[in-house]
Structure 1
Amino acid sequence: MKLNSSISTPLYDQLKQIIKDSIFQEVYKQGERLPNETELCEIYGVSRITVRRAIQELTEEGLLDRKQGKGTFVMRNKLARELVSVDGFTDFHKHLGKNPSKRILVCEEIKATPTISESLHIAQNAPVLRLVRLMFTDDYPFILDETHYSLERFPDLASHFLENSSTYDVLKNIYKVKLNNSSTYKIITVIPAPGLEAEYLDCEIGDTLFNFDKIVYDENKVPIHTSNFKTRTDLIALTITT
């Protein structure tokens, strides 16, 4: 497709609109890499200067994301997450019509540290399940999650998690735990992505991440688990219903 140099609209503006239309029509899909500068020049019959200005302005408008050494990608729409909700990852994505999946990175028994024992109301050195998972939305890495559960309260928990997609389904159906939406303690900070987290979440070192530390309680206000999860700030919007 060639641009029209005989009209008053600058070529970079024409190219911007064509790329925008291609994004909205899903010719270029969310998360997909755009053709490189050379390819765009050939496709649209314009100079590198024109391509660079169009890409730069679309990046500033939040439609594109330039990643050093990787290329330019179509930005993904942010998923809205209710801040006070304790719904699990699987349930949350099913409500959105998304396809969730998980990969277990670590599943091991450890001894409760002073911090974990205080959070879970258990003795120091008591047996604890440490579970680290990478969670995907439509096959795209979305959350890096680390949780701790008391194995005295939830014996043989690891085998059930390995066999089931939803951890909260396991807790509800096998251990008969009832969650309490009003009793969830959260601390939310924004941090720069360390190297390992950047690798797992497909972002650059130093990109901003939401860092969630939370404790989830049952209906009797007894701690169920602690959780730390990290997700990119450009993928999620936090909402509060009052």
Structure 2
Amino acid sequence: MKLNNSISTPLYDQLKQIIKDSILQEVYKQGERLPNETELCEIYGVSRITVRRAIQDLTEEGLLERRQGKGTFVMRTKLARELVSVDGFTDFNKQLGKNPSKRILVCEEIKANPIIAESLKIPIDTPVLRLVRLMFINDYPFTIDETHYSLERFPDLASHFLENVSTYDVLKKIYNVNLNSSSTHKIITVVPATGHEAASLDCEIGDTLFNIDKIVYDENKVPIHTSNFKTRTELIALTITT
């Protein structure tokens, strides 16, 4: 598509609108890389200066993002997450019409260290299941989730965890555990992505991540599990309902 030199609208503004329309029409999908400058010049028949001006403006407007050494990408719409909600990842995203999936990275038995033991209210060295999963939304890596469960309370738990099974469905149906939606404890900080986290979450080392530590309790206010999840700050808006 060529731009129109005979009208008063600057070429970079025309190009901006064309790219915006292409994003709305999903010609350029959220999270996808835009063609590079040379390719855009050829596609739209404009100079590199025009392309750079249009891309710069769209980046400042929050529609595009530049990633060092990778190119320019269409920004993803932030997913609002209710801070006080204890809904599982699967249930929460199905409610939003998303397509959640998971990949198990680690599933192992360890001994509870003092921090885990205190959080779960169990003796130190109690057998604990450590479960680390990479969570996806519409096939895009969204969060790394690490949880710990007491194996004295939930024996043989690992055998029930399949990659796309809801954790809370397992706890309710197999172990008759009901969550207490009004009794969760969360600590939220912002941390830089490590090399492993950057590779898993498709971001750069040092990019900011929300780091959320959580303890979930049952209806008797007994800890069910600890949870730590990390997700890119530009992908999620944390909300509070008062």
| TM-score, normalised relative to structure 2 | 0.98
The alpha carbon displacement at 1:163 in A equals: 6.8
Cα drift, residue 6 of structure 1: 2.4
SS in 2 for 1:162: coil
Residue type of the partner of 2:145? D
Indicate if the aligned counterparts of 2:101 and 2:164 stay in contact, CA closer than 8 A.
no
Helix, strand or coil at the partner of 2:51: helix
Aligned to 1:93: 93
* Paired position in structure 1 for 2:112: 112
CA contact (8 A) 2:102 2:164 kept: no
Are the counterparts in 2 of residues 78 and 235 from structure 1 also a CA contact under 8 Å?
Answer: yes
Q: Residue in 2 aligned with 1:156?
A: 156
Deviation at 1:193, TM superposition (A): 1.1
Q: Secondary structure at the match of 1:234?
A: helix
Structure 2 unmatched runs, 5+: none
The answer on 1:219 being equivalent to 2:215 is no
Q: Which moved more, 1:222-231 or 1:27-36?
A: 27-36
Cα distance in 2, alignment partners of residues 60 and 208 from structure 1? 19
Seen in structure 2, the aligned counterparts of structure 1 residues 226 and 30 have a Cα distance that, compared at 3 Å, is same
Judge conservation of contact 1:164–1:170 (CA < 8 Å) in 2: no
Stretch moving more, 181-190 or 159-168: 159-168
Specify whether residues 121 and 11 from structure 1 end up closer, same or farther in structure 2 by C-alpha distance, changes over 3 A only: same
Partner of 2:124: 124
Provide the C-alpha distance between the structure 2 equivalents of 1:164 and 1:29, rounded to a whole number of angstroms: 25
Give SS of 1:204's match: coil
CA-based RMSD: 1.0
Cα deviation digits, residues 81-124 of structure 1 (max 9, x gap): 11100000000111011111100000000000000000000000
1:35-46 mapped onto 2 (5 Å cutoff): 35-46=35-46
Percentage identity across aligned positions?
A: 86
1:21 offset after TM fit, Å? Answer: 0.9
Query: 2:77 — aligned with what?
Result: 77
Provide the residue aligned with 2:173 in structure 1: 173
Deviations 1:184-240 (A, max 9, x none): 000001111111111100001111110000100000000000000000111111111
**Corresponding residue pairs, total:** 242
- 2: CA distance, partners of 1:21 / 1:119: 50
2:22 aligns with 22
Q: Kindly provide the amino acid, as one letter, of the partner of residue 118 in structure 1.
A: E
Deviation (angstroms), 1:164: 5.7
Q: Secondary structure at the match of 2:12?
A: helix
| Distance of 2:137 and 2:26 partners within structure 1 | 18
Partner of residue 8, structure 1: 8
Query: Helix, strand or coil for the counterpart of 2:237?
Result: strand
Q: CA deviation at 1:162?
A: 2.8
C-alpha distance in 2 between matches for 1:161 and 1:19:
43
3-state secondary structure, aligned to 2:5: coil
TM-score computed with the length of structure 1 as normaliser: 0.98
Which residue of structure 2 aligns with residue 186 of structure 1? 186
Deviates more, 1:23-32 or 1:209-218: 23-32
Instruction: Give 1:2's aligned amino acid.
Output: K
Separation of aligned partners in 1, 2:164 and 2:49: 52
- Asked if structure 2 preserves the Cα contact closer than 8 Å seen for 1:177 and 1:218, the reply is yes
Gaps spanning 5+ residues in structure 1: where?
Answer: none
**Alpha-carbon distance between aligned partners in 2 of 1:165 and 1:22, rounded to the nearest angstrom:** 36
Tell me which residue corresponds to 2:202. Answer: 202
Letter in 2 for 1:182: S
The secondary structure found in structure 2 opposite 1:174 is helix
Measured in 1, the distance between the counterparts of 2:162 and 2:93 equals 19
